Copies of this chain bind each other. A is one copy, B any other.
Amino acid sequence: MPECGLLVSAPGKVILHGEHAVVHGKAALAVALGLRTFLRLRPGGGERLRIHLPGVGVRREWDVAELRALRGRLTGGANSPSVEQLDTLKEFAGIAADASAPDSLAILAFLYMCLAISAKYGDVPSVDITVWSELPTGAGLGSSAAYAVCLAAALLHACGAISCPLKDGEATARWTEEEMTLINSWAFQGERVIHGNPSGVDNAVGTWGGALRYQSGKITSLKRVPMLRILLTNTKVPRSTKVLVAGVKEKILKFPAIMNPVLDSIDAISQECQSVLEAMPTNPSPEYYPVLEELFDINQHHLNVIGVGHPSLDRLCRVTASHGLHSKLTGAGGGGCGITLLPPDATPLAVEAAKRDLCACGYECWETDIGAPGVTLHSSSSLNAQVLHALSES
């Protein structure tokens, strides 16, 4: 491990097409988001392991010897967190048995990954780890997976299980396919601690970046995906994914002959979108966008048909349409987030006006992109001041 430590980042994700339909065996397209989670690992002092999560107000530290002893008690589980192991960790960290707050789950996932990875590859490391994210939590943007991917990369590196591919003078570097497979598999265990039964899509997007197709448990990377500029808007309307998924199922049971063709149509939209993305050059010209925009519009109608729309999302679509931009909900719907395509010929004035109008609705709005790279190593000079500042807060 280099004395200077390690700077790692991993992207969040959005669903481009196929949300909800994926629950019923159809394809979904998930893409890496330009908003990322950043991790700084530094050699620790005095045989202590420290974790600092400024975004959720967590700052904890433990004696490495104490963690070694704890690790000895975590038998079984074979690469996968058991209920007993998690109960032991909760008790150790003073976390309530039914805790579900992001800070509690983040500590739990950290402890589990740290002990399980060190048990397999080396000793419990004496390091200081700080994680900070541009991603809001609980908005369906894969923030927990980006966190788990960063942790997996940092801890595997700290235990010597993966290399440090960043050469002197380079701004960024990525790991080998084999190393990324290892990072992804451990990130998935972290996701299990946080979510119980995750699909594995979010950590795969966080690791590999770009775009993935997910269908019936099978995840495949798209051949080649351009970076596309988007607006990501959080309506901040809270919703329960569980309730929305149940509502869709109920609609399908109530009107099978009406709803099943809609799922088929959504499946075909994902397929068409994949074909268009794979045919697009790295810097796509405006003529590629009308089809992508049309697919957004159609799917947004379909998502309304299956009952996961919301007046806040209708408003989002209307506001962006008034500036010539096309939007759809992304993820669970019923509020939550929407994404808006920004074609290369969208004028900065139109984009600024759309952002202003969305903020005037009380929404939070980021100008970012999709198709971003997966887990990445950074030199500190390659990170912007805001990120460095957040990571160096003491």
Contacts and interface: CB of A to CB of B under 8 A. Distances in A.
Please state the number of chain copies in the assembly.
Answer: 2
A268 interface: yes
A279 interface: no
A169 B269 CA distance: 64
Contact of A305 (B255, B257, B264, B298): B298
Interface residues of A, number: 19
A268 B261 contact: yes
A27 interface: no
A262 interface: yes
A145 to B, nearest CB: 30
A88 to B, nearest CB: 50
A364 interface: no
B262 A258 contact: no
Given A301-B304, A302-B305, A265 B261 contact: yes
Interface in A263-313: 264-265, 268-269, 271-272, 295, 297-298, 301-302, 304-305
Nearest to A258: B268
B264 A261 contact: yes
Contacts of A272: 255, 257-258
Contacts of A297: 304-305
Q: Determine chain A's interface SS by DSSP, over half rule.
A: helix
Interface in A217-270: 255, 257-259, 261-262, 264-265, 268-269
A301 B303 CA distance: 10
A190 to B, nearest CB: 37
B265 A269 contact: no
A385 to B, nearest CB: 44
A242 B302 CA distance: 26
A269 B304 CA distance: 16
Contacts of A302: 301, 305
A29 to B, nearest CB: 14
13 contacts: A255-B272, A257-B271, A258-B265, A258-B272, A258-B295, A261-B261, A261-B262, A261-B264, A261-B265, A262-B262, A262-B265, A265-B265, A301-B304
